Amino acid sequence: MTDILLQARHLNKTYSQRTGTLGLNSHTIHALADVNLQLKRGTTLAVVGESGSGKSTLARGILRLLPLDSGEVIFDGQDFLALDKNALRTARRHIQMVFQDPFASLNPRMRIGDIIAEGLVIHRIGNAQQQHDSVVQMLKKVGLQADDARKYPHQFSGGQRQRIGIARALILQPKLLVCDEPVSALDVSVQAQILLLLKQLQQEMGLSYLFITHDLRVVRHIADDVLVMQKGKVIEQGSVETIYNAPQQKYTQQLLSAIPGHGLRAITA
């Protein structure tokens, strides 16, 4: 076992877009252009960039939710892109995802208990009683109550729904959690709660996070390493300290200077 959980090499993904009169011409958009990354076990790698930088495509490509044009993904020593259908299903148990919009990502007609238990049912883990027990345990772990299992998503606030999304993802005890803008839709006060919860769970369960965000403020508090993307390319990567203290690229500097609250520092300094 190495200490690298996830490694991606030379990932490429292009889309062609129709342009011109009647869409007769087309040009190619590089959503991912030769992207390399590695994620150490038990740590957090943040992928930072603006809309359209390819950060979500990267996450989806790694998870095989989207076919890549070329590249190699090694997850836990396995060539992830070469797995056949059955092997992929088994392997996916170890990679789970938390989505941005807690309103859109929970099925409104399902009870919370069923939403959280779904992974166990699909992977046929435990009997009904054991599944129920792990749901209750998971609910408590993310700061919800046992009887919340009977409720429906609309009965919860945005922050609580994100907790449900996290419980749903973690019930299978994955090795890797891919978080795609998990706190962008939340109030700042709720953001802090979710970030602290993610940190705490990481320690308790030894999780590794691939954390996608446009907000460098959040990155500072959750990540160990940072990868900055622009227009499908990785333009800078390094430890969180290096990126913040000595950003090499102009684009990284721009992202850093866009963080709101420069005034806050000036005033409270």
Residues within the interface to another protein (CB under 8 A): 50-51, 157-158, 187-193, 195-196, 214-218, 220-221, 240, 244, 254-268
Report, in Å, the least distance between residue 88 CB and another protein.
33
In whole angstroms, give the CA distance from residue 236 to residue 55: 13
Of the two residues 174 and 247, which places its CB atom closer to another protein in the complex? 247
Q: Which is nearer to another protein, 150 or 221 (CB)?
A: 221
- Whichever of 67 and 263 has its CB closer to another protein, that residue is 263
Residue 10 sits at φ, ψ, to 5 deg, of 50, 50
Query: Which of residues 129 and 245 has its CB atom nearest to another protein in the complex?
Result: 245
Least distance to another protein, CB of residue 164, Å: 17
Cβ contacts of 249 within 8 Å, gap of 6 or more: 228, 235, 236
DSSP string, 195-215: HHHHHHHHHHHT-EEEEEES-
Alpha carbon of 203 to those of 66, 131, 175, 184, 207: distances in Å? 30, 23, 12, 23, 7
- Closest by CA position to 176, among listed 34, 79, 45: 45
d(CA 263, CA 269): 10
Residues 233, 238: Cα–Cα separation, whole Å: 15
d(Cα 154, Cα 38) in Å, to the nearest integer? Answer: 38
Q: Which is nearer to another protein, 1 or 269 (CB)?
A: 269
Task: Give whichever of 47 and 73 is closer to another protein, judged by the CB atom.
Answer: 47
Minimum distance from residue 66 beta carbon to another protein (Å): 21
Q: At closest approach, how far in Å is the CB of 5 from another protein?
A: 24
State the nearest-atom distance from the C-beta of 196 to another protein, in Å: 5
Task: Measure the CA–CA gap between 77 and 88, rounded to whole angstroms.
Answer: 14
Rank residues 123 and 217 by Cβ distance to another protein and give the closer one: 217
Residue 55 C-beta: closest distance to another protein, Å:
11
Give least dist CB 191 to another protein, A. Answer: 7
Q: In the numeric block, which tokens belong to residue 217?
A: 């403020």
